[in-house]
């Protein structure tokens, strides 16, 4: 009996040892897969009604005052979600996200906001890293003039070897005019969360990650969400939301773009976006479609014939519109912008 008991003990020990060998690498991989702390901006000491970063963990300002937006606040709070001072948007995941100015030209002074954090592990020179985050163009908040914003390009991710903690009494830093990962096109989608992703080979033991637009105004492009000649005052500012930040040494550790998002899957889409004279509607054949402006007023309605249905928009007011597709099981809507 004693021998059988000993055999069982040996077998149990061997089984546990084998199980630990099988499980440990997976656990280790999962724990270090994303090198970004507080990647969804959920961890904080409080739910504060205040612009700025409040009591968020790990992240801090590298330039001016990014905002920690939280859904725990009352509806319409200055930094609440989905409605706040600057925009109306649900977070991509969880209950929080970050909002920051990615373009501003006020009184001739270039201003923008950067946010940064210390990576959980320093990057290894010569190693490839895969990065991603979600971005959304801020629009439709409850400020006095919610529609007077710009869309801008170059929202991106930059790695540094040194801390750039911003001192409010210090001078504004110069534009760096580079980014390791960026969205080079003008970010005009105010409804969905655009995936910004890419990979790069680290050339230094980078310790910090930064988010924002690191290019000068001269190297940045913008699009008006509304005609500035019809609105007073006009705020020459672009406000961008960021969520779900990821940096990983593993190829499938962070979500990556494969093809053109709006052209993939079965969802309706429009192109070009932004548009000027003609707008094409795709994947809506046989459906009834309507277009409304930012105030919810219907400006066009019709039945789509064919997979590439064109409507003339040359005489429409420049600005942002929402195309709604009826006749599907789920509610389908596509945001687009008309520019000069």
Same domain? For 212 and 69 the reply is yes
Q: Which residue has the tokens 């920051």?
A: 100
**What is the pLDDT, as a whole number, of residue 155?**
96
Same domain? For 267 and 314 the reply is yes
Q: How many CA atoms lie within 13 A of 259 on its CB side?
A: 5
Tokens of 117: 């954090």
**What is the pLDDT, as a whole number, of residue 9?**
41
For residue 104, tell me if it sits in a domain: yes
User: Which among 212, 92, 203, 86 has a CA at the least distance from the CA of 152?
Assistant: 212
Same domain? For 243 and 282 the reply is no
Q: What are the pLDDT digits (tens) for 223-248?
A: 877 666 766 667 788 999 999 999 99
**What is the pLDDT, as a whole number, of residue 264?**
42
| CATH number (domain holding residue 317) | 2.60.40.3080
**What is the pLDDT, as a whole number, of residue 103?**
92
**Whole-number Å distance between alpha carbons of 177 and 213:** 9
Distances in Å between the alpha carbon of 300 and those of 114, 115, 296? 40, 41, 12
For residue 188, tell me if it sits in a domain: yes
For residue 15, tell me if it sits in a domain: no
For residue 50, tell me if it sits in a domain: no
Residue 34 zone, left/alpha/beta (φ > 0; ψ -120 to 50; rest): beta
**What is the pLDDT, as a whole number, of residue 65?**
93
Last residue of a domain, one of 217, 248, 279: 248
Same domain? For 244 and 272 the reply is no
Q: Which residue has the tokens 């200055």?
A: 78
Domains in the chain, number: 2
Same domain? For 106 and 213 the reply is yes
User: Which among 260, 67, 237 has a CA at the least distance from the CA of 152?
Assistant: 237
**What is the pLDDT, as a whole number, of residue 330?**
53
For residue 54, tell me if it sits in a domain: no
DSSP 237-286: EEEEEEEEEEEESSTTSS----S-GGGSSSS-EEESSSBSSEEEEES-TT
Same domain? For 130 and 267 the reply is no
Same domain? For 197 and 118 the reply is yes
Tokens of 81: 């979600």
Query: What residues in the chain have per-residue pLDDT under 70?
Result: 1-32, 107-108, 144-148, 226-228, 230-233, 258-267, 327-331
Q: Which domain holds residue 331?
A: 261-338
Tokens of 296: 């919810």
**Whole-number Å distance between alpha carbons of 308 and 287:** 12
Same domain? For 125 and 173 the reply is yes
**What is the pLDDT, as a whole number, of residue 6?**
45
Same domain? For 235 and 285 the reply is no
For residue 210, tell me if it sits in a domain: yes
Last residue of a domain, one of 215, 248, 281: 248
Q: How many residues does the chain have?
A: 340
| CATH number (domain holding residue 140) | 2.60.120.260
For residue 166, tell me if it sits in a domain: yes
Same domain? For 185 and 240 the reply is yes
Tokens of 160: 């540094």
For residue 320, the cross-strand partners are 337
DSSP 125: T
What is the side-by-side strand order in the sheet with 288-293?
A: 298-303, 288-293, 319-326, 332-338
Tokens of 289: 């479609």
Last residue of a domain, one of 227, 248, 269: 248
Cβ atoms < 10 Å from Cβ of 97: 27
For residue 128, the cross-strand partners are 201
For residue 322, tell me if it sits in a domain: yes
Same domain? For 66 and 191 the reply is yes
> Is the CB of residue 305 less than 8 Å from the CB of residue 285?
yes
Distances in Å between the alpha carbon of 37 and those of 62, 98, 164? 16, 14, 17
**What is the pLDDT, as a whole number, of residue 128?**
92
**What is the pLDDT, as a whole number, of residue 146?**
62
Same domain? For 235 and 284 the reply is no
């Amino acid at each position: 009996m004693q021998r059988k008991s000993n055999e069982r003990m040996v077998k149990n020990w061997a089984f546990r040892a084998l199980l630990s060998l099988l499980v440990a690498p997976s656990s280790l991989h999962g724990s270090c897969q994303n090198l970004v702390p507080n990647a969804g901006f959920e961890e904080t000491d409080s739910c504060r009604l205040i612009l700025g970063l409040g009591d968020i963990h790990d992240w801090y300002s590298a330039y001016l005052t990014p905002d920690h937006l939280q859904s725990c606040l009352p509806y319409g709070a200055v930094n609440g979600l989905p409605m706040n001072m600057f925009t109306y948007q649900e977070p991509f995941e969880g209950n929080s996200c970050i909002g920051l100015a990615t373009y501003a030209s006020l009184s001739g002074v270039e201003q923008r906001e950067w946010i940064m954090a210390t990576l959980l592990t320093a990057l290894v020179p010569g190693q490839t890293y895969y990065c991603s985050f979600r971005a959304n163009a801020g629009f439709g908040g409850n400020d006095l003039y919610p529609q007077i914003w710009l869309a801008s390009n170059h929202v991106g991710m930059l790695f540094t070897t040194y801390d750039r903690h911003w001192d409010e009494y210090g001078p504004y830093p110069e534009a760096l005019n580079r980014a390791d990962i960026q969205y080079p096109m003008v970010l005009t989608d105010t409804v969905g969360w655009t995936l910004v992703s890419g990979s790069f080979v680290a050339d230094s033991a980078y310790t910090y990650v930064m988010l924002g637009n690191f290019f000068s105004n001269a190297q940045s492009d913008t699009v008006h969400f509304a005609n500035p000649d019809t609105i007073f005052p006009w705020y020459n500012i672009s406000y961008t939301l960021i969520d779900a930040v990821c940096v990983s040494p593993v190829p499938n550790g962070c979500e990556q773009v494969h093809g053109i998002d709006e052209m993939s899957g079965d969802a309706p889409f429009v192109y070009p976006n932004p548009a000027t004279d003609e707008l094409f509607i795709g994947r809506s054949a046989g459906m009834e479609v309507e277009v409304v402006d930012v105030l919810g007023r219907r400006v066009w309605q019709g039945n789509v014939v064919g997979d590439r249905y064109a409507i003339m928009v040359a005489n429409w007011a420049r600005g942002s519109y929402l195309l709604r597709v009826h006749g599907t099981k789920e509610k389908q809507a596509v945001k687009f912008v008309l520019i000069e």
